[in-house]
């Protein structure tokens, strides 16, 4: 069977699209789909539906995505993404997603880095609504026997030989029994949030451990230095709470107090896009303001927003923040700060979502394809569904449905070790980076690597090092990667940084060629 | 504070109570964060100084959006990531949900909820009817976290007695709200059999639902369409 690892949006999309072609799959995830990070997505999904009378067009979505990604995304892939976006959103509607609409048409909202209203949404709960519709759609094929689910199973290794994948190893988290499954594998395991436990807006479930192990086994990764700091997050108990970009899209304004006077700095500094600048620019600007002695505090001011929004499309956001920070955001500006949110980098795939290992595919946030050096809000729900769709429309039936019990050789990793790695990574991979900071972090990693590590610790440490080395080697500033020692964008670095491991970490800069990973 | 946890080792039959001494300063700290903090301690010890295993519990979003972390907190079902320690004084007791098979510590197997939805064939057969008037109810129904808190307090819910509780009714009510008339008959039967007949309408589920879903509104709508056959195309 086809083995899909991860049942968030990308995994569900792959499974459903395979089922549409009568092809069966195993759908394996640590927890049920309801618990996947995809349910947390808030603001919306992009498509040039052109329902707002703004003359929007697919080519403009394409351009904004390319430009927003600081021209590090691959044109042919982004073309596919943006051309399919409209169909995807109407497909979601046909599955019953209750998109905000008016007079029978889907309403779109503004999002950062886009000059047109292009983001379809359901209040600030878009991910949950999309997931619910796809979970129900997948159920249709579970009943028919085309999708076989393994919830509460963690895939901890793949069966790889001669640069080809023939199956996977997983453990049942409830019984501790381990099994092998055979056939092609599709990784939809989400972003690398597990490298920064407690400090991201995402899910605790996406540990990144499988990816680190596969890196040691020869899987190529790309653009690992590209980590998105979302400008509007809040530190709450044990995690970062995202304030959706819808807050800015609906008219929220960045505010500080300069010499005691209110100062709407984004509007002053970026007269064209104002508060709707891309996330990389917003986070960097906030960082500068935070370090400016004449300025005090960073707030989001939503008090001027049309009152009708608070009962309708922003009602859930208002309630959530009232609960978590005890501020009524309709009445008072509230403090925000940038926080780690999304990983543009990940598994290197070609336009068919193939990795450099035969019979191994990847889609969703774990893969690196569409978002270049900075992802536009609303493009990753799209990218996850589209990536799953590409895979679901390409793979062919595999008849081996054996489930074989095997020795459980899973190794546990202590949370305290993960936090140690996190703190080192953070010291090198902040919003603003420089050679000394990154080199110091690498030095600390090297010291750890000399200790007597378990394999699972070693793998995680090597992946962390690859992220740091990627940041050290890219001697330019582009998108989310800002080097104060190389503040300019350098055309010669307009290339994919491909990381591989052969006993040593290698970073190779590969032309953006429309994406052959092999 | 004293944290009392009803624990259970995987694949064993006996449960035992273990107490921990725990200190925190952030008044916003949640039960889930407390558990994560305890688990960060490499040589975790209980209140008597005996070495203790890491505490197993489920979590994912840590912001009330995924339903993973449901457990009994001082006897009441709730989300560990939503409950603040400060609201419990100097003593808190954590137990696994009781209506589901126990796996380990605070983890239970809630697979019955997805099995029920499969049994009820909760999916759309044709294209969804969505429009501005229906959207609000579809949104409400789609918010269900499948956390199981409603089943825990429901006097009428037991595994495999045919009644699937609100964890079954909410997803089904989204389908009922969006279905085509040709599918009405079959879905009505399902609703009647697995929801309507079994529900005593005591509404204990409404108060406990951590998502605050407007359960009554959805039941009224589902009853109108599926029981009283007041099907309106748009
Ligand atoms: C708070 C928040 C808000 C967001 N808002 C938006 C938005 O408005 N618009 C937008 O476009 N994007 C948004 N994003 C980003 C977007 O939600 C994600 O990029 C996208 O949902 C990722 O989907 P995915 O399917 O790749 O992964 P996920 O949904 O993260 O799913 C990963 C799956 O893999 C499983 N898994 C992981 N490792 C293993 C393993 N070893 N074995 C078995 N299973 C495994 C998990 O259990 C899970 O099922 C937001 C993200 C966050 C955190
Ligand atoms: S109304 Fe009462 S019987 Fe019906 S689901 Fe809720 S708690 Fe159970
Ligand atoms: S109805 Fe409420 S309590 Fe019941 S499963 Fe859904 S979210 Fe949980
Ligand atoms: S961890 Fe998601 S609801 Fe608590």
Q: Would residue A297 be called left, alpha or beta, if left means φ above 0 and alpha means ψ between -120 and 50 degrees?
A: left
Q: Give the per-residue pLDDT at A515.
A: 45
Domain span holding position B93: 2-108
pLDDT in tens, A199-219: 999 998 899 999 999 999 999
Residue A313 has pLDDT above 90, yes or no: no
**How far lies A127's CA from each of A39, A376, B12, in Å?**
5, 16, 38
Q: Give the per-residue pLDDT at B230.
A: 81
Q: What are phi and psi of A118, to 5 degrees?
A: -145, 5
Residue B72 has pLDDT above 80, yes or no: yes
- Rounded CA-CA distance A64/B111 in Å is 43
Global pTM value: 0.97
- A122 shares contact with chain B (CB less than 8 Å): yes
- Examine the domain organization and report whether A155 and A39 are in the same domain: yes
- Examine the domain organization and report whether A369 and A386 are in the same domain: yes
Region B185-192: what's the mean pLDDT?
97
Residue B11 has pLDDT above 90, yes or no: no
- Examine the domain organization and report whether A155 and A95 are in the same domain: yes
Residue nearest to ligand 3 atom 5, measured at CA? B146
The residue out of B108, B134, B167 marking a domain boundary is B108
Confidence at B82, pLDDT banded by 50, 70, 90: very high
Q: Rounded to a whole number, what is the distance in Å from the CA of A202 to chain B's nearest CA?
A: 7
CATH number for the domain harbouring residue A199: 1.20.58.100
pLDDT in tens, B130-143: 988 899 999 999 99
The residue out of A406, A430, A456 marking a domain boundary is A406
Let me know if residue A517 belongs to a domain: no
Let me know if residue B65 belongs to a domain: yes
- Examine the domain organization and report whether A219 and A256 are in the same domain: no
Let me know if residue B233 belongs to a domain: no
pLDDT in tens, A111-164: 989 989 999 999 999 999 999 999 999 999 999 999 999 999 999 999 999 999
CATH number for the domain harbouring residue B26: 3.10.20.30
For chain A, percent of residues with pLDDT exceeding 90: 94
- Rounded CA-CA distance A462/A442 in Å is 10
- Rounded CA-CA distance B154/B162 in Å is 14
Confidence at B234, pLDDT banded by 50, 70, 90: low
How many other C-beta atoms lie within 10 A of the C-beta of residue A180? Answer: 16
B68 and A31 within 8 Å at the Cβ level: the answer is: yes
Domain count, chain B: 2
Q: Would you name the residues of A annotated as active-site residues?
A: 279
CATH number for the domain harbouring residue B187: 1.10.1060.10
pLDDT in tens, A33-75: 999 999 999 999 999 999 999 999 999 999 999 999 999 999 9
Q: Give the per-residue pLDDT at A238.
A: 83
- Examine the domain organization and report whether A36 and A75 are in the same domain: yes
Domain span holding position A289: 244-335
Let me know if residue A518 belongs to a domain: no
CATH number for the domain harbouring residue A297: 3.90.700.10
Helix axes B165-178, B132-142, angle to 10 degrees: 160
A31 and B26 within 8 Å at the Cβ level: the answer is: no
Residue A518 has pLDDT above 80, yes or no: no
Between positions 194 and 223 of A, the ones with CB within 8 A of B are: 198, 203-205
- State in Å: Cα B200 to ligand 2 middle: 6
- B68 shares contact with chain A (CB less than 8 Å): yes
pLDDT in tens, B30-48: 999 999 999 999 999 999 9
Residues 6 or more apart in contact with residue A391 via CB below 8 angstroms: A14, A17, A18, A186, A352, A353, A361, A363
Confidence at B161, pLDDT banded by 50, 70, 90: confident
Residues 6 or more apart in contact with residue A451 via CB below 8 angstroms: none
Domain count, chain A: 3
Let me know if residue B179 belongs to a domain: yes
Instruction: Count how many residues are written for chain A.
Output: 518
Q: Give the per-residue pLDDT at A125.
A: 96
The residue out of A281, A316, A335 marking a domain boundary is A335
Instruction: Count how many residues are written for chain B.
Output: 234
């Amino acid at each position: 069977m086809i083995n899909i690892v991860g049942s968030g949006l990308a995994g569900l999309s792959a499974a459903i699209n395979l089922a549409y072609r009568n092809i069966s799959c195993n759908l394996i995830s640590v927890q049920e789909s309801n618990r996947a990070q995809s349910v947390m997505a808030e603001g919306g999904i992009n498509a040039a539906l052109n329902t707002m009378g703004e003359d929007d067009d697919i080519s403009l979505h394409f351009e904004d995505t390319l430009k927003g990604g600081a021209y590090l995304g691959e044109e042919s892939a982004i073309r596919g993404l943006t051309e399919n976006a409209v169909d995807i959103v109407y497909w979601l509607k046909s599955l019953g997603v209750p998109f905000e609409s008016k007079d029978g048409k889907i309403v779109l909202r503004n999002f950062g880095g886009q000059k047109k209203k292009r983001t379809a949404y359901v209040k600030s709960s878009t991910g949950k609504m999309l997931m619910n519709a796809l979970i129900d759609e997948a159920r249709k094929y579970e009943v028919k026997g085309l999708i076989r689910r393994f919830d509460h199973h963690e895939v901890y290794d793949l069966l790889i030989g001669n640069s080809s994948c023939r199956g996977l190893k997983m453990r049942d988290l409830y019984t501790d029994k381990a099994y092998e499954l055979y056939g092609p594998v599709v990784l939809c395991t989400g972003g690398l949030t597990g490298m920064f436990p407690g400090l991201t807006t995402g899910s605790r479930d996406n540990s990144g451990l499988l990816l680190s192990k596969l890196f040691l086994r020869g899987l190529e990764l790309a653009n690992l230095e590209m980590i998105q700091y979302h400008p509007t997050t809040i530190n709450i108990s044990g995690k970062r709470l995202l304030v959706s970009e819808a807050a800015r899209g609906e008219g929220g304004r960045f505010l500080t107090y300069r010499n005691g006077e209110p100062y709407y700095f984004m509007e002053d500094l970026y007269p064209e896009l104002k508060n709707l600048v891309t996330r990389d620019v917003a986070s960097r600007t906030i960082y500068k303001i935070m370090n400016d002695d004449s300025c005090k505090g960073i707030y989001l001011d939503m008090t001027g927003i049309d009152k009708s929004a608070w009962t309708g499309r922003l009602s859930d956001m208002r309630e959530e923040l009232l609960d978590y920070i005890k501020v009524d955001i309709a009445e008072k500006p509230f403090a925000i700060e940038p926080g780690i949110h999304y990983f543009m980098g990940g598994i290197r795939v070609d336009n068919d979502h193939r990795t450099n290992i035969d019979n191994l595919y990847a889609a969703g946030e774990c893969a690196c394809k569409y978002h270049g050096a900075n992802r536009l809000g609303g493009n990753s729900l799209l990218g996850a569904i589209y990536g799953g769709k590409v895979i679901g429309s390409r793979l062919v039936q595999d008849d081996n449905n054996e489930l074989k019990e095997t020795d459980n050789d899973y190794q546990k990793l202590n949370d305290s070790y993960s936090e140690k790695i996190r703190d080192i990574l953070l010291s090198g991979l902040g919003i603003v980076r420089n050679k000394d900071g990154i080199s110091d972090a690498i030095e600390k990693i090297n010291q750890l690597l000399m200790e007597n590590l378990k394999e699972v610790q070693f793998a995680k440490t090597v992946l962390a090092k690859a992220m740091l080395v990627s940041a050290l080697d890219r001697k330019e500033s582009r998108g989310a990667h800002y080097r104060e020692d190389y503040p300019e964008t350098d055309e010669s670095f307009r290339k994919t940084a491909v990381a591989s491991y052969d006993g040593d970490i290698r970073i190779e800069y590969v032309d953006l060629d429309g994406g052959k990973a092999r | 504070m004293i944290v009392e946890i009803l624990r259970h080792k995987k694949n064993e039959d006996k449960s035992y109570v273990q107490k921990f001494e725990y200190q925190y300063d952030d008044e916003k700290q949640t039960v889930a964060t407390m558990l994560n903090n305890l688990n960060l301690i490499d040589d975790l010890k209980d209140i008597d100084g005996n070495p203790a295993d890491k505490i197993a519990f489920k979590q994912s979003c840590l912001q009330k959006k995924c339903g993973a972390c449901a457990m009994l907190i001082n006897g009441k079902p709730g989300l560990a990531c939503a409950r603040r320690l400060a609201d419990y004084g100097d003593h808190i007791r954590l137990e696994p949900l009781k209506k589901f098979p126990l796996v380990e510590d605070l983890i239970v197997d809630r697979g019955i909820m997805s099995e029920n939805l499969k049994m009820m064939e909760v999916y759309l057969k044709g294209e969804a009817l969505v429009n501005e008037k229906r959207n609000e109810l579809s949104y409400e129904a789609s918010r269900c976290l499948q956390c199981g808190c409603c089943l825990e307090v429901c006097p009428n819910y037991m595994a495999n007695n045919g009644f699937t509780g609100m964890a079954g009714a909410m997803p089904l009510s989204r389908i009922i709200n969006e279905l085509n008339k040709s599918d009405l008959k079959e879905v009505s039967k399902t609703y009647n059999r697995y929801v309507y007949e079994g529900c005593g309408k005591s509404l204990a589920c409404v108060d406990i639902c951590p998502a605050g879903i407007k359960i009554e509104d959805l039941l009224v709508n589902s009853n109108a369409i599926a029981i009283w056959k007041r099907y309106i195309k748009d």
